[in-house]
Amino acid sequence: MEHAGLAGEEDLPAIWTSSPDRRLTEREIAVSTTAPPCELVSVQDYVTVILRPSVVQSSWTDIEAFGSDVRSELERRTAPACVVDLSPLNYMGSAIVALIVRVWKVVQARDGRMVVVCPNAAVLEVIRLAGLDKIWTVTPRLEDAQKKLGVKGSSASIPMVTTSPASPEAGGVPSSRIWYFTMGALTVLLALIVVLVIAARR
């Protein structure tokens, strides 16, 4: 029976399968009080997965549960069209990479299409360094993603599934450049391993 999480993740060191407990900026905290860290918007012709900065404060259990909800929604559809919207992010940890790969695998298994919206240069660099831009379609704007999928945006879209943000006051890790560099490097290594695992299973 396939593991509910990321394929091959049981072979990875624990630090590679969880997001760094990064402290949020004041602006990110303000956003997290009005919007959930993860949001699933399901309309007739496609699904949008929105990830916000406060997701880095969410527990792996919450992210795993959200991934299961997204998977269930995608599996209800034949050849699902999916947009993963990373436009709110200026940082991408390993748990976020794992979540997107999990979504991508479900879309691939059902002969669907996925487009990642990523306007932030730092987040895009992580994707590129990991070689994920070779297997994902990445675009800077939501409108471009919708065009690539051949779908139309809907002002009547209603969020169907959300997760609750973790408390920003929860014990964080000091914001040192060395720590960020280390976690960034581990994120890239995780993504590379994911690509190799996927390639080996083809």
Burial class (CB in 10 A: 0-12, 13-18, 19+), 172: middle
CB 39 within 8 A of CB 73: no
Give the model's pLDDT for residue 58: 86
**What's the mean pLDDT in 48-59?**
91
Residues 123-154 have pLDDT tens digits of 999 999 889 999 999 999 999 999 999 987 65
Q: Is residue 65 one of the residues assigned to a domain?
A: yes
Query: What is the distance, to the nearest Å, from the Cα of residue 84 to the centroid of all Cα atoms in its chain?
Result: 7
pLDDT band at 28 (very low <50, low <70, confident <90, very high): very low
Helices (H) and strands (E) in the chain, counts: 6, 6
Residue 2 lies in a domain: no
- At residue 7, the pLDDT reads 38
What does the pLDDT read at residue 185? Answer: 59
Return the biggest CA–CA distance within the chain: 46
In a domain, 190, yes or no: yes
pLDDT at residue 27 tops 50: no
**What's the chain's average pLDDT?**
74
Mean pLDDT along residues 113-130: 95
The 10s digit of each residue's pLDDT in 61-76 is 999 999 999 999 999 9
**Residue 136 is part of a domain; what is its CATH number?**
3.30.750.24
Q: Select the more confidently predicted residue: 58 or 11.
A: 58
Quick one: residue 140, left, alpha or beta (phi over 0 = left, psi -120 to 50 = alpha)?
A: alpha
Residue 48 falls inside a structural domain: yes
Whether residue 143 is contained in a domain is answered as: yes
Asked if residue 194 belongs to a domain, the reply is yes
Return d(Cα 42, Cα 44) in angstroms, integer. 7
pLDDT above 90 as % of the chain: 47
User: How many independent structural domains does the chain possess?
Assistant: 1
- Structural domain range at position 161: 9-166+174-201
Q: What is the pLDDT of residue 184?
A: 60
